[in-house]
Amino acid sequence: MKVVFWLGSVATTLSLGTSGFAVSSQKYVWKNAKIGGGGGFVPGIVFNAKEKGLAYARTDIGGAYRLNSDDTWTPLLDFADHARWNYWGVDALATDPVDPNRLYLATGMYTNSWDPNYGQILVSGNRGASFNVTKLPFKVGGNMPGRGMGERLAIDPNSNNILYFGARSGNGLWKSTDYGTSWSNVASFPSAGTYVPVPGDTNDYNTDKVGIAWVTFDSTSGSSGRATPRIFVGVANAGSDNVFVSSDAGGTWSAVPGQNNTFLPHKGVLSPSEKVLYISYSNGAGPYDGTSGALYKYNIASGAWTNITPASGSDLYFGLGGLTVDLQKPGTVMVAALNSWWPDGQIFRSTDSGTTWSPLWSWGNYPEMNKYYSYSDSKAPWLGPNYVEINPGTLQIGWMMEALEIDPFDSNHWLYGTGATIYGGRDLLQWDVKHNVSISSLADGIEETAILGLVSPPSGPSLVSAVGDIGGFVHESLTEAPRSSHQNPNWPSTSDIDYAGNKPSYVVRVGTGDSSTGKQVAFSNDYGKTWAQHYGAADNASGGKVAVSADGTIILWKSNTDGVLVSQNQATFGAVSSLPSTTSAIASDKKSNGVFYAASGSNFYLSTDGGKTFTVKGTLGSSTSTFDIAVHPGVTGDVWVSTDKGLFHSPNSGTTFTAISEVSQAWGISLGAPASAGGYPAIYVAANIDGIAYYRSDDQGASWVQINDAAHGFGAASANVVAADSRVYGRVYIGTNGRGIFYGDVDGLTNPITTTSAVVSTTTVATTGPTGTVTEPTPSTTSAVANPWGQCGGLGWSGPVTCTSGFECVVGNTCKRRILVLCLV
């Protein structure tokens, strides 16, 4: 996952249960609205060494998962709530080779200022069904650079009470001898790691030390019941010793002699029967970078190092990441190119300990490629040809490939993680028989997307989403993966979405990208099935929030780049000077065309002239920041506003506000289908009432029931989107920052719609606005763009200075993967 959120306010605003009202709870059934296929970076996959079929995957912002026998995955950290949002950043994982029930996770999101919290080791004795928590005295960076190196956490295979954890930020190597309950620093370990991804970067995300990368026990050096003597540790150092060994169970350490420390060691994988340690290297910490690398094997008995890098010269344009050996067939080794951005990712396999290699694809009659695989995305069709985040129709194999594992009990079964999903198959030995394997998307159950906007229109599909990194979807079914993400235009992320109250088939979305990905406003006349660019938007104006008027003729846009803008009847967007740049929430009336609402600080604004001018209408108590405005779907002027100081209701367009006294803080809010026909809409809110949780009121806020439970925390409330279903009473959608979309139904209530059959045309292509045909200017042609990680400027450079979609030209004139920083204060 590439979306980076700044949650700097979480720690200071957190005040659990301060309002002290006892609120009853109602049993809800929560499920993911299925996107399927993961949707984000999977930095680690770990098989258990003792029990066949037991495996786990970790993600960078969406928690950890356990593999089931039917190839589906079960989430393990859904209990993480607002106070424990950083548990979803899983920087390392270890499954016990002695007692398979034991599972350990090192969690924490950022080691820089974005996450004020220290990390923790989660200890489970039941495969992740529940955890004990040991707080660490430093931060853990599950979503930091180098998160695919590893694993940083390892269990002694001869004495499973002993664990080591390699910390970031210069905090060194740590050891536990009591099954992860307590930890102490290994003072004798000689290097805490000096490598930082971008020294001097003004953004402190890239200036922290990546630290210790992996710990690998040499199981063959000891015997059961006694601490394993030989332990290898890889450290993020480039140009100084970076592979260390202890021969006395961690008492003393030294650099392994003869090592080549030019590049960073990403993985250290033991082949016990060969008595060999394989090490993959890259010239960056990953996960986006790497333009060169190496693969070495270290013969433990003789001390000899052999360079077995599977590519050389100009064919070696990537670092090496994912690395695995077949424990059933000693000498079989596989390694992944960390990032081969073009023409596709690459994986190499050797059956002779790295003497010779065969690739997953090779050039045929250029530009034809010999693909030594068949590909299936049946479990997440949007991943395939319709998935165009990086290179349209290409990068089938993947990128950011740090997790690559052959099942230790089944030579045919393999899995690998990419920047978007988990792929793998069950016929891997066919690689050696006929050099052709079956690759399938095998991330069913993993939902690790960051949801930025959701709408549930009163007709058509019950849910349309705006999603970070993968665009968003029309959810025609909540139980089946969508076939395609939003297309034409296609942006790295869609930041918000809205529908017209009187004409719900008219939907507008805004995105983040640049002029190479088209205008950053798009509209649809068929509930989001097909889209057209809004040519009234300036090039490169992007991001933010959008609200479309009741009849669909006016679009109000709080952009990230150009302030608050409005367009009427498809005209060019113009500045709304009467709204301050601090405007944090906008909304449209769902009945009266031309009526819009906005808020900033404690000021609530109203426009009755189609968003051209706003005036301060009312005051939201002592609020200093406004989060969301929810509008009654059937009554003009009936609005609810959530702020850092509570929840406010106005029946008269903000002329007067009533503060809902129980609520001390509120975030996402939405009004949906009422409890009984003709009644007041049910209100759903993420708020601090009886603690920070999710609540529903059926009586205009007079009383509330809590609808989430201890097993469903949804992470940071301040990062989430709440959308009530327009048609199903009790149903609410919660879009999370890292765990996809949940939908909740009252337990026992029968639900009229689970699969929605949208009344949408499959053939209409929306090219006109709601008020008639408009003449669209021809989009300016984009000049050549630089490839990912390619050069994009510099002295004497005459090539392209713009990067391909999703990348930006940064210091050093290199196209770097764009990192979204959303400020959610």
Ligand X SMILES: *[C@@H]1O[C@H](CO)[C@@H](O)[C@H](O)[C@H]1NC(C)=O
Of 312 and 750, the one with the shorter C-beta distance to ligand X is 312
Distance (Å, rounded) from C-alpha 381 to C-alpha 811? 37
Among 370, 624, 661, 755, binds ligand X (CB under 6 A): 370
Q: Counting contacts by CB under 6 A, is residue 563 touching ligand X?
A: no
Q: Helix, strand, coil: what percent of the chain each, to 5?
A: 5, 35, 60
Q: Which is nearer to ligand X, 397 or 455 (CB)?
A: 397
Q: Is 179 in the site for ligand X (CB under 6 A)?
A: yes
Residues 522, 508 contacting (CB under 8 angstroms)? yes
Q: How many residues bind ligand X (CB under 6 A)?
A: 18
Q: Tell how far CA 352 is from the center of its chain.
A: 37
Question: Please, what is the minimum distance in Å from the beta carbon of residue 38 to ligand X?
Answer: 24
Distance from the Cα of residue 764 to its chain's centroid: 33
Of 427 and 551, nearer to ligand X (C-beta) is: 427
Catalytic residue among 60, 91, 326, 690: 60
Minimal distance in Å, beta carbon 816 to ligand X?
A: 12
Cβ pair 121, 49 in contact under 8 A: no
Interface pattern 139-178 for ligand X (x via CB under 6 A): ----------------------------------------
Q: Nearest distance from residue 639's CB to ligand X, in Å?
A: 36
Task: Specify the residue, 121 or 631, whose C-beta has the smaller distance to ligand X.
Answer: 121
Question: In this structure, how many other beta carbons lie within 10 angstroms of the beta carbon of residue 547?
Answer: 25
Taking CB under 6 A as the binding criterion, the range among 144-152, 319-327, 366-374, 520-528 that sits at the site for ligand X is 366-374
Distance from CA of residue 738 to its chain's centroid?
5
* Distance, CA of 491 to CA of 541 (rounded, Å): 13
Q: Does 125 bind ligand X (CB under 6 A)?
A: yes
Binding mask 267-306 for ligand X (x = CB under 6 A): ---------------------------x------------
Residue 590's region, left for phi above 0, alpha for psi from -120 to 50, else beta, is: alpha
The answer to whether 372 contacts ligand X (rule: CB under 6 A) is yes
DSSP annotation string for 353-380: TTSS-EESEEE-STT-EEE-EEEE-TTS
Nearer to ligand X, 129 or 759 (CB): 129
User: Taking every pair of C-alpha atoms in the chain, what is the biggest distance, in angstroms?
Assistant: 83
Look at the block and give the residue holding tokens 């003789």. 302
Q: How far is the CB of 315 from ligand X (least distance, A)?
A: 14
The C-alpha atoms of residue 296 and residue 260 are separated, in whole angstroms, by 9
Which of these ranges, 272-280, 364-372, 473-481, 529-537, lies near ligand X under the rule CB under 6 A? 364-372
Yes or no: say if 665 and 645 are a contact pair by the CB < 8 Å rule: yes
Work out whether 787 is an interface residue with ligand X (CB under 6 A).
no
* 523 contacts ligand X (rule: CB under 6 A): no
Residue 9 tokens read as 């306010």
Q: Which amino acid is at 722?
A: V
573 makes contact with ligand X (CB under 6 A): no
Of 515, 652, 787, 813, the residue at the interface with ligand X (CB under 6 A) is 515
Q: Determine which helix (DSSP H) or strand (DSSP E) holds 232, and give its type and residue range.
A: strand 231-235
Residue choice 223, 374, 658, 661 for contact with ligand X (CB under 6 A): 374
- Which CB sits closer to ligand X, 102 or 503? 102
Q: Which is nearer to ligand X, 291 or 436 (CB)?
A: 436
- Indicate the residue among 178 and 480 with the shorter CB distance to ligand X: 178
* Binding residue for ligand X, selected from 514, 628, 638, 745, defined by CB under 6 A: 514
Which of the ranges 117-125, 450-458, 471-479, 591-599 carries the binding residues for ligand X, by CB under 6 A? 117-125
Tokens linked to 384? 């395939």
Q: Which is nearer to ligand X, 455 or 810 (CB)?
A: 810
569 in contact with ligand X (CB under 6 A): no
Nearest to 437 by CA among 549, 526, 332, 349: 349
The Cα 268–Cα 265 span in angstroms is: 7
Does 84 contact ligand X by CB under 6 A?
no
Least Å from the CB of residue 102 to ligand X = 7
Burial class for 84, CB neighbours closer than 10 Å (0-12, 13-18, 19+): middle
Q: Which amino acid is at 424?
A: G
Judged by CB under 6 A, the stretch of 118-126, 342-350, 653-661, 764-772 that binds ligand X is 118-126
d(CA 565, CA 286): 38
Nearer Cβ to ligand X (179/714): 179
Taking the complex as a whole, the smallest distance from the CB of residue 723 to ligand X amounts, in Å, to 32
- Between CA 288 and CA 339 the distance in angstroms is 7
Nearer to ligand X, 324 or 802 (CB): 802
Q: Which is nearer to ligand X, 124 or 346 (CB)?
A: 124
Least distance (Å) from ligand X to the CB of residue 390?
16
Q: How far is the CB of 518 from ligand X (least distance, A)?
A: 11
Site string for ligand X, 629-668 (x = CB under 6 A): ----------------------------------------
Scanning 370-378, 570-578, 686-694, 725-733 for contacts with ligand X by CB under 6 A, the matching segment is 370-378
Instruction: Check binding of 132 to ligand X (CB under 6 A).
Output: yes
**Site for ligand X (CB under 6 A): which residue of 106, 123, 481, 692?**
123
Considering only residues 398 to 437 of the shown chain, the ones binding ligand X according to CB under 6 A are 436
Could you tell me the end-to-end alpha-carbon distance of the chain, in angstroms, rounded to an integer? 21
By the rule CB under 6 A, 802 interacts with ligand X: yes
CB of 515 to ligand X, least distance (A): 4
Of residues 734 through 763, those in contact with ligand X by CB under 6 A are none
CB atoms inside a 10 Å sphere around CB 320? 30
- How many CB atoms sit inside 10 A of residue 427's CB? 16
Per-residue contact flags (x/-) with ligand X for residues 532 to 561, judged by CB under 6 A: -------xx---------------------
CB nearer to ligand X: pick between 11 and 133: 133
CA angle 526, 532, 534 (to 5 degrees): 125
Q: Which of 9, 74, 194, 260 binds ligand X (CB under 6 A)?
A: 260
Least distance CB 424 / ligand X (angstroms) = 16
Q: What is the closest distance, in whole angstroms, from the C-beta atom of residue 682 to ligand X in the complex?
A: 39
- Least separation in angstroms between CB 685 and ligand X: 34
Q: What is the C-alpha to C-alpha distance for residues 124 and 189, in angstroms, rounded to an integer? A: 28
49-55, long-range: CB within 8 Å, 24+ apart, which pairs? 49/95, 49/97, 49/157, 49/408, 50/96, 50/97, 50/98, 50/100, 51/100, 52/407, 52/409, 52/410, 53/407, 53/409, 54/95, 54/100, 54/127, 55/95, 55/405, 55/407, 55/415
Nearest distance from C-beta of residue 604 to ligand X, angstroms = 34
Given candidates 18, 188, 254, 262, which one binds ligand X under the rule CB under 6 A? 262
800: helix, coil or strand? coil
Q: Which listed residue (91, 469, 496, 628) is catalytic?
A: 469
Q: Which residue is nearest to ligand X (CB)?
A: 125
Active-site residue flag, 60: yes
Burial of 559 (0-12, 13-18, 19+ CB in 10 A): buried
Cα(152)–Cα(44) distance, integer angstroms: 11
Which strands make up the sheet holding 28-33, listed edge to edge? Answer: 28-33, 741-746, 732-735, 721-724
Active site residues: 60, 469
Site residues, ligand X (CB under 6 A): 123-125, 132, 179, 260, 262, 294, 370-372, 374, 436, 514-515, 539-540, 802
